[in-house]
Amino acid sequence: MNHRSYQEVRLPLEEEPLALMCRLVGTGLFSPHVVYENGTEWSLAGGALASLRLTGQETVDLSSVAQWLARTPVTDWRVYGWAAFELGPVLAGAAPSGTDTVLHLIVPTDEVRTDGTTILIRSLDPERLDLLVRLARTGRSVADPTERIHLPLEDKGNYRAAVAAALVELQDDGPLTKVILSRRVPVPARVDLPATYAAGRRANTPARSFLLDLGGIQAVGFSPETVAEVTPDGRVTSHPLAGTRARTGSAAEDARLHDDLLSDPKEIHEHAISVKLALEDLAAVCDDTAVTEYMDVLQRGTVQHLASTVTGQLRDGYGPWDAFATLFPAVTATGIPKTSAYPLIRTLEGHPRGIYAGAVLTCDADGALDAALVLRSVFQQDGHCWLQAGAGVVRQSLPEREHEETCEKLRSISQHLVPARERPSGEIRPDALVDPG
């Protein structure tokens, strides 16, 4: 196979990375596209030189991903994409329940990356590269829209009843000790995603952020944690977050809630069992597993979480996709054990989650992989727009408190929804989104 190489140009960065990414996406010249913020690096992938879409019926493990990448006709690639929550049950051996895509990956034709100091522009087409260079050089400040969509967050479905039903299951002698139940909130207007990304990112403190239009799904998210981080030398890290209190904007009240979080037996128990399962997941493919940070408190937008860090070293014969497969989906968005939580989630929520509680990810040719947990996000698909948030239910849970927690999380994104300037012919139909809880 003849491999092609990206042509590259490096320029000084003369605007903030967030503004650069939103401006470039706003040109409409990148389709499909994925913007991914990973620490100090921001990257924009545009176009698809190669694409892989797997349904549940085509997926037993992720060995086909490595086979596909081996055929990729370009060197020094970076893969971008998403994994739906429903990939998890399939990897665990459950029979696939539909034909929807559970994993969508692309190798882009164009990339724009910035480390906060310079811009690296990559393209396979010299003329396209010249165009991208001109676009990158024409940075200009754009005023943020002031208009926002007002979105009531009170549950209009049966979320509290779903939590109560889960508590009945948790009282049984079965293995289930925790389940994360979520609810959808329909958005009554189409959202300007780049503008929402800009507004929301300035107000949030995410571990990762993303803006994408890939495979019929559009989304903006401010991820509070990573599912998996893999370095080229095989070091694997995951950051489970479980246990939540609000951030109110009052320093005194936030400090009180911080202390309350650290002393709440329910929240501590929920966090501890989540860390234990994350370690067990890592041990399937790693040696030298350890908890390197335990039960810190991290601020994530409108909430604060108990947070820990677990690490391990990949054993010989395992690669980044094995690490991702064993950790996916995040224990903090599923339940304990995961296999017992899957059917209960599907029964009580009543619909597939799609990429909510799944992952947006990148993987590099050198073996580095980074996967963000899809939470604190807004989604648009098939003429519908919605938010979604969940809470961890354990035996000590109270339905009213779990509902309140979903509201606290939803505010990280709901306060920053910018309406689209023009409504396309495909009208958003929020009434068609039934909130089953």
What is the token pair recorded at 206? Answer: 């995410």
Nearest to 437 by CA among 392, 405, 389, 401: 389
* Cα gap 20→15, rounded to integer Å: 6
> 287: helix, coil or strand?
strand
Separation of alpha carbons 214 and 347, rounded Å = 28
What are the structure tokens assigned to 154, written together?
A: 């009170």
Distance (Å, rounded) from C-alpha 81 to C-alpha 160? 34
CA 406 to chain centroid: 17
- CA dist., res. 193 & res. 334, Å (int): 27
Query: Could you give the CA distance from residue 48 to residue 32 in angstroms, rounded to a whole number?
Result: 7
R_g over Cα of the chain = 21
Strands 110-114 and 118-123, by their bridges, are antiparallel
Burial of 352 (0-12, 13-18, 19+ CB in 10 A): middle
- Whole-number Å distance between alpha carbons of 109 and 74: 10
Helix axes of 159-170 and 399-414: crossing angle, nearest 10 degrees: 130
Token reading at 325: 């497969």
Judge whether 225 counts as a catalytic residue. yes
Catalytic residue among 111, 225, 402, 408: 225
Nearest to 32 by CA among 208, 200, 217: 217
Contacts of 91 (CB under 8 A, 6+ apart): 59, 61, 62, 325, 328
Strand order in the sheet with 384-393: 7-12, 118-123, 110-114, 41-46, 33-38, 208-214, 217-223, 377-381, 384-393, 178-186, 335-336
Positions marked active-site:
225
